[in-house]
């Protein structure tokens, strides 16, 4: 039975053992008897004496702020061969990579234990230490990631690319720019999840879940410097209750949650497989991607794997590895590609578009990966981006059966030896001016092209070369070609040192802690989009007088956009310059129209409504408001760093930050729209049409017995209109900046917060501006519909369902 579960130790016993393990591991980071032979044999090897004596030297450089430090300086101080710890030496010599990272036919290479366990997946291909075990496990996955399988996913990649572009468009229209890092993370994750599991995570269509997934992947990366030293941390975090873990370490809680999610899917796959085998109803598995649970089935139906290799908690490690590696690395490379292309657009972009246009007959064309790979300039861009975004991690290998020789030094069998791929990619002897983006080095005209190709190691080398190289290539070629064929972008507030270059080693490279990410906006529409950026939020109530007597005032510090009248701290005197504009006879209107038709879930109908399985509902909700003001005055100011610092230093603000542990948001009101002579009318309507099976007794919820006919129709209507006038001035809308306070350093910064805003700044515009906002959504799926309505707190459907249950007219 492949679904046999692992029996875990008692939680308290596990905690005690973990504490003991921590103490023993801490002690073992100094010299132990098992290391004496190595120390004697390598006593004259270059490197710090402390590194030869204890593993705490490496630990210090891995964990000191900001975390994930490089160790390149050791080579400058000592030699191309340097000791990092009692059991590991590091070689910085490009040519020697052919000795260390070899194929299975050329030699046996185990993965160093601490390096294998750093991601918390010791039973997956990434975390497997022994060479032969890794080879057996990887063989079960190889067919799923062949070049032909990757080619079969081209339609999937193009479909996700369409959604990616929609997401970017939405963000630019709403926020003025788009964050490419999160967008690409959602893009690659949706692809790899559907490719491996048969069902996309749907992150491109759900911004909240996309942001949460991005945080989970970043959390996994951020824990690497710590788990590399203490690799029992992730397994322990999976045993601790999530509510407690979120308090102790939110990052580890996210990592543990990702493991639990993959375990649940693996367990379901194992149970379905076992049930199919038992009943003889097992469907044929063609070992193709995008089939349900493809990755799990590839392992479960592999006759070369023993039963203990098919346990759900073993194969779940493969899923965690594929989800993390298949999303972060490719997303990071795509982000770098966008930056380097746009930062050098005059010399890069025209040639790229000309090439891609040469193989696309229409704008709707979908060229194959093979066709795109035939384009020399696109290929050069892809390779140069891969070179510049190579992993920062050092790859540590152990030759268990042979001594490795580097120059005059002999490393006995069993010695851990590492190299860093990024050092190879930035070797000036191979790649002149290595920090510069020069795609031309990959063109056939380069006499050293063969040497460049030989040392392009972005996907590693040897028996542990990246499993997903073919899928990653397809994603890179298609995304780069199509993004710049369909859209005209330019960079927005993106600085290479801060937002692109890797400064920390989290296995994958990590940019500065102050990064804002690579952000883009439209080139030809930048000015228009800036004018359309919405900054102002409507006040929750319009019976609040305008300043100076009213509670909503410039400079006030608030904690919620829903209650701007409740200030945490009253503003000091404004030293910053204010800007004002006044307009007369202003018309402002909003309209929200939502409509759709869906078949409700049978379970939902049975449990919640009692309608049975054969039911459909069509719905429409329309909210419209129209305002006319005699005058509308807009006043704004831009707080400088000193003003923000003074606000944060105030005692009420400090108490709030301390109580919330710096986790809850703070805003400062930076703009007000006050109006006089206001007239308004609002219209609201909800309509629901439905049908249910005649077998359902509707008496309980309708008061009317049901009988006859094949269907019972249900109609619900609700509408109303309100008009009003206001003689007094009041605050109609407000603008805010979100205040960000670094807990450790106390640094304070502010940035415009615009999510959910409905009005633009409107300074310098002509009189009688008119603004109409229309939101329209059609043909929602039932789960998306219910979730959206609940999250947005929109009453349209929530009102209809209670009415539907409490009493309706039966047609």
pLDDT class of 771 with cuts at 50, 70, 90: very low
**Residues 71-108 pLDDT 10s:** 677 777 788 888 888 888 999 999 999 999 999 999 99
First CA to last CA distance, the chain:
56
CB burial of 747-769 (b: ≥16 within 10 Å; e: otherwise) equals ebebebbbeebebbbbeeeeeee
pLDDT class of 751 with cuts at 50, 70, 90: confident
387 pLDDT more than 60 = yes
Mean pLDDT of 246-271: 85
800 pLDDT more than 50 = no
CA gyration radius, the chain: 31
Q: What is the pLDDT of residue 315?
A: 93
CB 175 within 8 A of CB 755: yes
Collapsing DSSP to helix, strand or coil, 249 comes out as coil
Mean pLDDT of 532-554: 81
Comparing 314-323, 459-468, 784-793, the range with the smallest average pLDDT is 784-793
Residues written for the chain:
811
Look up residue 540 and give its DSSP letter. Answer: S
Residues 6+ apart with CB under 8 A from 48: 57, 74, 83
* 400-408 long-range Cβ contacts below 8 angstroms, 24+ apart: 400/108, 400/110, 400/131, 401/108, 402/107, 402/108, 404/99, 404/100, 406/81, 406/91, 406/93, 406/96, 406/99, 407/81
27 pLDDT more than 90 = no
Domain parsing of the chain, residue ranges:
142-393+467-522, 551-810
**Residues 190-213 pLDDT 10s:** 999 999 998 888 889 888 888 888
Q: What is the pLDDT of residue 30?
A: 47
Residues 6+ apart with CB under 8 A from 760: 531, 532, 533, 534, 535, 536, 771
26 pLDDT more than 70 = no
**Is 466 labeled as ligand-binding?**
yes
- What are the tokens at 515? 């990064």
Comparing 123-132, 277-286, 715-724, the range with the smallest average pLDDT is 715-724
Average pLDDT, rounded, for the chain: 76
**Residues 437-477 pLDDT 10s:** 999 999 999 999 999 999 999 999 999 999 999 999 999 99
Q: What is the pLDDT of residue 787?
A: 28
**Residues 262-275 pLDDT 10s:** 999 999 999 988 88
| Higher-confidence position of 640 and 18 | 640
Instruction: Give the C-alpha distances (Å, rounded to integers) separating 471 from 262, 503, 621.
Output: 21, 27, 43
Rounded to the nearest 5°, which phi and psi values hold at 88? -135, 135
533 pLDDT more than 80 = no
| Higher-confidence position of 690 and 541 | 541
- What are the tokens at 463? 């028996």
| Higher-confidence position of 653 and 509 | 653
Q: What is the dihedral of CA 654, 655, 660, 666, to 10 degrees?
A: -50
- Measure the CA–CA gap between 296 and 271, rounded to whole angstroms: 11
| Higher-confidence position of 662 and 685 | 662
Q: What is the pLDDT of residue 429?
A: 95
Share of the chain above pLDDT 90, in %: 32
Mean pLDDT of 715-722: 54
Residue closest to 458 by CA, chosen among 390, 396, 506, 508: 390
Q: Which of 37-46, 292-301, 704-713, 771-780 has the highest mean pLDDT?
A: 292-301
| Higher-confidence position of 122 and 527 | 122
pLDDT class of 65 with cuts at 50, 70, 90: low
Mean pLDDT of 425-448: 96
> What is the secondary structure of 552-596 as a DSSP string?
--TT-EES-TT-TTSEEE------S-EEEEEEEEEEEEEEEEEEE
Rounded to the nearest 5°, which phi and psi values hold at 568? -75, -30
Q: Kindly give the residue spans of alpha helices, DSSP state H, lying in 121-179.
A: 131-139, 147-152, 154-175
Q: What is the pLDDT of residue 69?
A: 64
Residues 6+ apart with CB under 8 A from 20: none
- Measure the CA–CA gap between 386 and 378, rounded to whole angstroms: 12
Mean pLDDT of 561-576: 80
609 pLDDT more than 90 = no
Vertex 423 angle, CA 142 and 38, to 5°: 85
Q: What is the pLDDT of residue 119?
A: 79
| Higher-confidence position of 441 and 720 | 441
- What are the tokens at 791? 């999250």
Comparing 112-116, 210-214, 304-308, 607-611, the range with the smallest average pLDDT is 607-611
Residue closest to 390 by CA, chosen among 441, 444, 431: 431
CB burial of 331-342 (b: ≥16 within 10 Å; e: otherwise) equals bbbbbbbbbbbb
587 pLDDT more than 60 = yes
Residue closest to 113 by CA, chosen among 348, 398, 372, 403: 398
**Residues 98-157 pLDDT 10s:** 999 999 999 999 999 888 888 788 899 988 999 999 999 999 899 999 999 999 999 999
Please list the residues that pair with 579 across neighbouring strands.
Answer: 636
Share of the chain above pLDDT 70, in %: 73
Q: Can you say how many angstroms the Cα of residue 426 is from the centroid of all Cα atoms in its chain?
A: 28
pLDDT class of 361 with cuts at 50, 70, 90: low
Comparing 213-222, 499-508, 659-668, 771-780, the range with the smallest average pLDDT is 771-780
Q: Which residue has the tokens 């890179």?
A: 476
Collapsing DSSP to helix, strand or coil, 264 comes out as helix
Q: What is the pLDDT of residue 736?
A: 92
What CATH code would you report for 142-393+467-522? 1.10.630.10
Identify the H or E element spanning 751. Answer: strand 748-752
Q: What is the pLDDT of residue 275?
A: 86
| Higher-confidence position of 318 and 26 | 318
**Residues 321-335 pLDDT 10s:** 898 888 889 999 999
- Measure the CA–CA gap between 35 and 49, rounded to whole angstroms: 15
Q: What is the pLDDT of residue 700?
A: 33
Q: What is the pLDDT of residue 496?
A: 92
Q: What is the pLDDT of residue 712?
A: 40
Q: What is the pLDDT of residue 9?
A: 29
Mean pLDDT of 63-68: 65
Query: Angle, nearest 10°, between helix axes 651-659 and 641-649?
Result: 70
- What are the tokens at 322? 């594929």
Q: Which of 70-79, 238-247, 610-619 has the highest mean pLDDT?
A: 238-247
pTM score of the predicted model: 0.63
**Residues 472-499 pLDDT 10s:** 999 999 999 999 998 889 999 999 989 9
- Measure the CA–CA gap between 522 and 493, rounded to whole angstroms: 13
Q: What is the pLDDT of residue 760?
A: 65
CB 594 within 8 A of CB 621: yes
237 pLDDT more than 70 = yes
**Residues 619-649 pLDDT 10s:** 445 555 667 778 888 888 888 778 888 888 8
- Measure the CA–CA gap between 419 and 417, rounded to whole angstroms: 7
């Amino acid at each position: 039975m492949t679904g046999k579960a692992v029996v875990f130790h008692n939680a308290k016993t596990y905690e005690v053992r973990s504490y003991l393990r921590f103490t023993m591991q801490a002690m073992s980071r100094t010299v132990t008897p098992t290391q004496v032979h190595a120390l004697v044999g390598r006593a004259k090897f270059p490197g710090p004496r402390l590194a030869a004596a204890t593993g705490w030297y490496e630990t210090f450089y891995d964990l000191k702020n900001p975390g994930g430090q490089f160790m390149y300086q050791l080579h400058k101080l000592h030699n191309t061969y340097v000791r990092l710890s009692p059991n590991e030496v590091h070689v910085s010599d490009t040519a020697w990579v052919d000795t260390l990272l070899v194929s299975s036919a050329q030699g046996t290479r185990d993965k160093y234990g601490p390096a294998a366990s750093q991601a918390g997946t010791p039973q997956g291909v990434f975390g497997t230490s022994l060479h032969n075990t890794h080879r057996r496990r990887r063989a079960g996955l190889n067919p799923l990631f062949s070049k032909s399988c990757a080619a079969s996913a081209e339609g999937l990649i193009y479909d996700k690319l369409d959604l990616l572009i929609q997401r970017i468009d939405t963000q630019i229209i709403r926020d003025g720019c788009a964050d490419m890092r999160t967008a690409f993370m959602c893009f690659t994750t949706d692809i790899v999840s559907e490719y491996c599991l048969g069902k996309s995570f749907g992150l491109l269509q759900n911004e909240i879940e996309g942001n949460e997934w991005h945080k989970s992947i970043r959390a996994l990366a951020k824990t690497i410097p710590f788990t590399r030293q203490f690799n029992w941390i992730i397994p322990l975090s999976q045993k601790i209750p999530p509510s407690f873990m979120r308090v102790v370490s939110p990052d580890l809680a996210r990592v543990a949650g990702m493991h639990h999610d993959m375990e649940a899917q693996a367990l379901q796959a194992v149970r379905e497989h076992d049930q199919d085998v038992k009943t003889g109803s097992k469907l044929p598995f063609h070992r193709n991607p995008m089939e349900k649970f493809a990755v799990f089935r590839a392992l479960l139906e592999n006759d070369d794997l023993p039963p203990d290799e098919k346990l759900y908690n073993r194969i779940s490690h493969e899923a965690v590895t594929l989800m993390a590696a298949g999303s972060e690395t490719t997303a990071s490379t795509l982000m770098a590609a966008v930056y380097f292309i746009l930062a050098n657009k005059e010399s890069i972009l025209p040639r790229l578009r000309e090439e891609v246009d040469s193989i696309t007959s229409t704008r709707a064309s979908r060229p194959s990966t093979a066709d795109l790979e035939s384009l020399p300039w696109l290929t050069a861009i892809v390779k140069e981006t891969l070179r510049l975004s190579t992993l920062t991690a050092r790859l540590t290998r152990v030759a268990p059966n042979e001594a490795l020789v580097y120059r005059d030094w002999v490393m006995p069998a069993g010695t851990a030896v590492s190299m860093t791929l990024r050092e190879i990619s930035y070797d000036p002897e191979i790649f002149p001016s290595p920090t510069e983006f020069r795609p031309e080095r990959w063109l056939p005209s380069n006499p050293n092209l063969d040497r460049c190709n030989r040392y392009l190691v972005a996907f590693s080398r040897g028996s542990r070369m990246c499993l997903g190289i073919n899928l990653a290539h397809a994603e890179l070629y298609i995304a780069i070609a199509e993004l710049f064929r369909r859209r005209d972008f330019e960079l927005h507030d993106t600085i290479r040192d801060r937002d692109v270059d890797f400064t920390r080693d989290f296995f994958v490279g990590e940019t500065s802690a102050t990064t804002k990410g690579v952000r883009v906006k439209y080139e030809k529409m930048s000015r228009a989009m800036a004018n359309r950026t919405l900054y102002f939020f409507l006040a929750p109530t319009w019976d609040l007088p305008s300043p100076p007597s009213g509670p909503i005032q410039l400079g006030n510090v608030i904690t919620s956009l829903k209650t701007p009248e409740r200030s945490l701290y009253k503003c000091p005197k404004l030293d910053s310059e204010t800007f004002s504009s006044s307009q007369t006879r202003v018309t402002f209107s909003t309209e929200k129209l939502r409509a759709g038709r869906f078949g409700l879930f049978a379970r939902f109908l049975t449990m919640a409504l009692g309608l049975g399985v054969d039911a459909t509902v069509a719905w429409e909700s329309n909210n419209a408001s129209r305002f006319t003001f005699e005058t509308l005055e807009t006043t704004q100011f831009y707080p400088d760093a000193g003003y923000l610092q003074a606000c944060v230093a105030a005692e009420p603000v400090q108490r709030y930050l301390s109580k919330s542990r710096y986790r809850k948001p703070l805003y400062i009101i930076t703009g007000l729209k006050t109006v006089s002579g206001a007239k308004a009318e609002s219209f609201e309507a909800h309509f629901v049409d439905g049908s249910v099976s005649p077998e359902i007794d509707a008496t309980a919820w309708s008061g009317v017995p049901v009988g006859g006919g094949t269907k019972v129709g249900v109609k619900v209507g609700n509408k109303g209109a309100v008009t009003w006038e206001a003689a007094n001035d009041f605050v109609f809308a407000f603008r805010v900046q979100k205040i960000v306070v670094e807990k450790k350093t106390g640094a304070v910064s502010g940035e415009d917060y615009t999510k959910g805003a409905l009005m633009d700044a409107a300074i310098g515009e002509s009189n009688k501006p008119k603004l109409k906002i229309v939101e329209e959504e059609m043909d929602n799926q039932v789960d998306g519909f219910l979730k959206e309505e609940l999250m947005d707190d929109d009453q349209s459907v929530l009102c209809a369902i209670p009415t539907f249950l409490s009493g309706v007219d039966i047609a």
